[in-house]
Amino acid sequence: MHELMATQAVLDAATARARAARGESARLREVQLELGSLSGLTEDSIRFYWEMLTPGTSAEGCALAVSIVPGRVRCRSCGRDEPATESIAICPVCGSFDAAIAGGGDVAIVGLATDGGPETHAPPIPVVVLPHGHEHPDPIASGRAGGAPGEVPIGRP
Ligand SMILES: [Zn+2]
């Protein structure tokens, strides 16, 4: 159901933007989506739920243009910035866990068009996507970032 909720969030955000720009009666004609390959969502599932959710709404018949943003991981141990195919922040070069997703983790609406025309100056709208299973800090992950357990980081207020 993760994909369903994310697709609903895309639809809600696009509808809100269209109404803010063109009024309550605005109809969505096209939504351009940037889909990170590490977001946990696939183009197929978003399209599937889009077709399920949009009939009867102001986005009925709205085209969905999806561009895939490749995943990248940046490593703080060896300094490399590498393509990544899995949404786990482990350096593919040195294997360090001290790495972070540097791209492809997000979903954003980067453009949309209504029956009034394209909304060309709209800034990207990030769509909040919770990575599945990572809502709570992993005790192993939080302990491996350096420092002894219970150590208070210096410089923290
Ligand atoms: Zn590394």
Which helix (H) or strand (E) covers residue 109, if one does? strand 107-114
Which residues, other chains included, contact 80 with Cβ-Cβ below 8 Å and sequence gap of 6+? Answer: 74, 91, 93, 94
Is residue 153 included in any domain, yes or no?
A: no
User: pLDDT higher for 153 or 126?
Assistant: 126
Output the domain CATH number for residue 112.
3.30.2320.50
Cα of 78 vs centre of ligand 1, distance in Å, is 4
Is residue 152 included in any domain, yes or no?
A: no
Cα of 141 vs centre of ligand 1, distance in Å, is 16
Is residue 29 included in any domain, yes or no?
A: yes
Cα of 89 vs centre of ligand 1, distance in Å, is 10
Tell me how many domains the chain contains. Answer: 1
Residue 138 pLDDT class (50, 70, 90 cuts): very low
Cα of 147 vs centre of ligand 1, distance in Å, is 19
Which helix (H) or strand (E) covers residue 111, if one does? strand 107-114
- pTM value is 0.74
22-74 tens-digit pLDDT: 999 999 999 999 999 988 899 999 999 999 999 999 999 999 999 999 999 99
Task: Tell me which residue range forms the domain holding 114.
Answer: 2-69+106-131
pLDDT mean across residues, the chain: 83
